[in-house]
Amino acid sequence: MISLLRGEVAVRRADHVVILCDSVGYRAAVSAETLRHVPPVGEQVTLHAHLIVRDDALALYGFAAEQERDLFLMLLSVQAVGPKVALAVLSGGPPRELIMAIAAGDAARFQAVPGIGKRTAERIIVELREKVVVRSDGEAADESILASRGSHGDDAAAGTGRGLARAGLIELGYTPGEVDGLLMDAEGESAEELIAHALRLARSGS
């Protein structure tokens, strides 16, 4: 099983790259998110990889982060989600943000992905919501970003729903000021509900 590619970027396309490893070029399909981390042709890169063996082909997929590969494999476990659709999902943002959307039950986020309808989006939420916090090896998956890191204020340390939501949004890259503005208008009791509403407000520009 090919699990890692390290070498020179020989080809860089919108949906795949070719990595030259010891004079052998490996073609790997990639998401738009991974492609953002792939340097120009001629430079060195390291990608995590997953090989899918079929009767008529060997399909190799590359990922900038191990967390993205883990999420890819989880998506493949969902009925009606194949590698092409899984890569389309991963192209929608950083793995941590997608995991947060699953944890928050934000089915609309996945329904917007080409090739995914309402039923499949809801299935992704239902089947993966309990899996995103714990990896397949039983260890914390980069710690759930719903969990308080103990560094975002007294509310987070106290474990309140709004405090946990604030910590989670900051982990997603929003500034404290932006988070306070989003949470001011967000509705919900639990951290999941507050984050889901805040993300919808952020996308709508409200």
- Residue 51 pLDDT > 90, yes or no? yes
Q: What CATH code would you report for 154-204?
A: 1.10.8.10
Every domain of the chain and the residues it spans: 4-63, 66-128, 154-204
pLDDT range class, residue 191, cuts 50, 70, 90: confident
With cut-offs at 50, 70 and 90, classify the pLDDT of residue 173. confident
Which pLDDT value is given to residue 171?
66
Q: Residue 49: which pLDDT band, with cuts at 50, 70 and 90?
A: very high
Whole-model pTM above 0.95? no
pLDDT at residue number 151 = 37
Give the pLDDT score at 146.
Answer: 38
Name the CATH architecture for the domain at 66-128. Orthogonal Bundle (1.10)
Q: What is the mean pLDDT of the chain?
A: 82
Of 29, 145, 150, which Cα lies nearest the Cα of 86?
Answer: 29
pLDDT of residue 197: 84
Q: What local confidence, expressed as pLDDT, does residue 103 receive?
A: 86
In the numeric block, which tokens belong to residue 116?
Answer: 């995914």
Residue 20 confidence (pLDDT)? 96
* Contact predicate 132/145, CB 8 Å: no
CATH topology of domain 4-63: OB fold (Dihydrolipoamide Acetyltransferase, E2P) (2.40.50)
For tokens 């793995």, the residue is 95
Better-predicted residue by pLDDT, 154 or 190: 190
**Among candidates 129, 116, 131, which has minimal Cα distance to 80?**
116
Residue 118 near residue 109 (C-beta atoms within 8 A): no
Q: Per-residue pLDDT averaged across 145-173, rounded?
A: 54
Cα→Cα distances 190→8, 97, 120, 193, Å: 47, 18, 25, 5
Both tokens of 78, joined, read: 């969902």
| Distance, first Cα to last Cα, the chain | 47
